[in-house]
Amino acid sequence: MHAVSLTAELLSQIQSQRGRLHPFERLDMGHTAHIVIDLQNGFMEPGAPIEVPVAREIVPNVNSISTAVRRCGGRNVFLRMTVDSDSQSSWSNWFAYLNTPQSAATTARAFARDAMQMNYKVIFVSDATATFTDAAHNATLENMAMLFADVMTTREVLTAVNAAQVGIACRERS
């Protein structure tokens, strides 16, 4: 799993700007969705076109969050990336210049950025997401924390989900 490391300067800036480190720690589970992006063979399977080996290590965290969200009345939504003729046309420079033919079999889009700009409250889970290197992972976390989301650990998300008692109590595990 990635070594998560947000800088002290960023955490201080967030605390100062928002008044607290986690502005979204109180959840309304009737209006909460756990969005799982790209946990699919193209990223997960050994030897896949854009294999992210670390992604296999986050599956238990993703599953823990999915279970808790489902149990407490939220929704789990699984998104997968596809490439069709429209994406190949609208991303022609990306396909032609920024990738080899093998790696250009996929495209990337992060719903978290769009979601915040569409006025959704976004929590980005630091240890339930993965990329190629620790440096890239931490740069993404810092970017998300600074501009687009509340960055939490799986444990922090599970605490928030389990504390949510809006309308219905979380059901006991069967």
DSSP H or E segment with residue 143:
helix 134-143
pLDDT per residue over 59-113, tens digit each?
A: 999 999 999 999 999 999 998 877 677 777 777 887 788 877 666 656 555 568 7
Q: From residue 71, how far is each of 39, 48, 75 by CA, in Å?
A: 21, 33, 9
pLDDT per residue over 9-61, tens digit each?
A: 999 999 999 999 999 988 999 999 999 988 888 889 999 878 999 999 999 99
Q: Is residue 167 predicted with pLDDT exceeding 50? A: no
The CATH homologous superfamily of the domain defined by 8-163 = Isochorismatase-like (3.40.50.850)
CA distance 43 to 101: 16
Q: Say if residues 61 and 161 touch (Cβ distance below 8 Å).
A: no
Q: What are the start-end ranges of the E strands in the chain?
A: 33-37, 75-79, 123-125, 150-152
Instruction: Please tell me the pTM assigned to this model.
Output: 0.82
Q: What is the DSSP letter of 171?
A: P
